[in-house]
Amino acid sequence: MKGPSMLKTHSSTPAAQPDVIVIGEALVDVVTSPEGTVEHPGGSPANVAYGLGRLGVSAALLTSIGDDDRGAAIAAHLASAGVELLPGSTSQGRTASATATLAADGSARYDFDIAWELPPVAPAFLPKVLHTGSIATFLAPGAAAVKALLEQSHRECMVTYDPNIRPALLGSQAEARSIFEDLVPLTDVVKLSDEDARWLYPDLELEATAARILELGAGLAVVTCGSEGSLLATPATRLQIPAITSVVADTIGAGDSYMAALIYGLLARGTDGLAPAVLETLGRMASKAAAITVRRPGANPPTADELLADLPEQASAPAAVVA
């Protein structure tokens, strides 16, 4: 796996450059439940950027939001966590939305109103980590621009990817899998949920899906399985991490919180690469971030202080399978 590169400076860039740049959609989650309707800033990439900011990571977002009240609410939300909105991210028009209807168990079903077109700009430098995913990597015309940015960047910095499959916005399963498999070789870390994995690869077990992602060129494949924990796999190691028991308010943003904490851990790791002990730390930290998030309504990820306090004891140690 490529290590984080030094920042590539540009004469017009500010002195303080973010360690992570996230590329992808930002939208408003309109959450409908028996208690009524409420709006939260959302969108998987925006949630990851916000989660990184909450963890104290210097982060920026390249996105496309409208010059309207919802766009202003998203910008203010990101700014509250110290996330920079990169130039070109705001344009005329309306901000996308996703209506999330909550079931009794807190799970959400989404209906989208979104057009995705990446602004005709690119970051003037490369960060330590470039993250993308979700609708932004599948929906034309913006998906082609995202792929082009990965092609330009993946040899120079770490790239993380969460497909966060939204079947209602995709074409055929075969077409979506083709897009996904074209992007994986441009990445270092791929995180997907068990639902994503089963939709993309209905004939494969989860471990076989992780193996397929590694075959395509990623150095780390992560499959989250909700209350069943998560699987972290490298070409040398497969590690099962138990979930952390949590009372669920809703599951909105849980996967994005996991992703943000995973990036946080990757940035903070020492020189041990992806040794089993490093994978265990990454998995436990990310699992705790998700557990904290589901206890709270909306995409409300933890701060670094919350994440680092009272991590689970080793009594529930995961079982490692070393190839």
Other beta carbons less than 10 A from residue 229's beta carbon: 17
Residue where the block lists tokens 């602004």? 119
20 conformational bin, left if phi > 0, alpha if psi -120 to 50, beta if neither = beta
pLDDT, tens only, 157-216? 999 999 999 888 888 999 999 999 999 999 999 999 999 999 999 999 999 999 999 999
pLDDT, tens only, 11-48? 334 447 999 999 999 999 888 777 788 888 999 999 99
What is the band of 253 on the pLDDT scale with cuts at 50, 70, 90? confident
Contact 161, 184 (CB under 8 A): yes
Q: At 44, give phi and psi (nearest 5°).
A: -55, -50
pLDDT at residue number 10: 31
pLDDT at residue number 154: 94
Contact 121, 87 (CB under 8 A): yes
- Amino acid letter for position 17: Q
User: Quick check: 4 pLDDT over 70?
Assistant: no
Q: At 29, give phi and psi (nearest 5°).
A: -85, 120
CA distance 110 to 90: 24
Window from 49-53, 107-111, 126-130, 212-216 with minimum mean pLDDT: 107-111
Q: What does DSSP assign to residue 272?
A: -
pLDDT at residue number 320: 47
Window from 106-110, 232-236, 254-258 with minimum mean pLDDT: 106-110
Contact 229, 222 (CB under 8 A): no
CA distance 220 to 187: 9
User: Quick check: 314 pLDDT over 80?
Assistant: no
Say whether 57 sits in a helix, a strand or coil: coil
Contact 128, 19 (CB under 8 A): yes
User: Which residues have CB under 8 Å from 9's CB, separation 6+?
Assistant: 17, 125
> Which element (helix H / strand E) includes 132?
strand 129-133
Q: At 61, give phi and psi (nearest 5°).
A: -125, 130
CA separation, residue 94 to residues 26, 48, 239, 300 (Å): 12, 22, 43, 24
In order, the DSSP letters of 146-193 are: HHHHHHHHTTTSEEEEE----GGG---HHHHHHHHHHHGGG-SEEEEE
User: Which residues have CB under 8 Å from 268's CB, separation 6+?
Assistant: none
| Beta-sheet pairing, 230-233 with 59-62 | unpaired
User: Quick check: 9 pLDDT over 50?
Assistant: no
What is the pTM assigned to this prediction?
0.89
Cα 225 off chain centre by: 15
What is the band of 319 on the pLDDT scale with cuts at 50, 70, 90? very low
Overall average pLDDT of the 305-315 stretch: 65
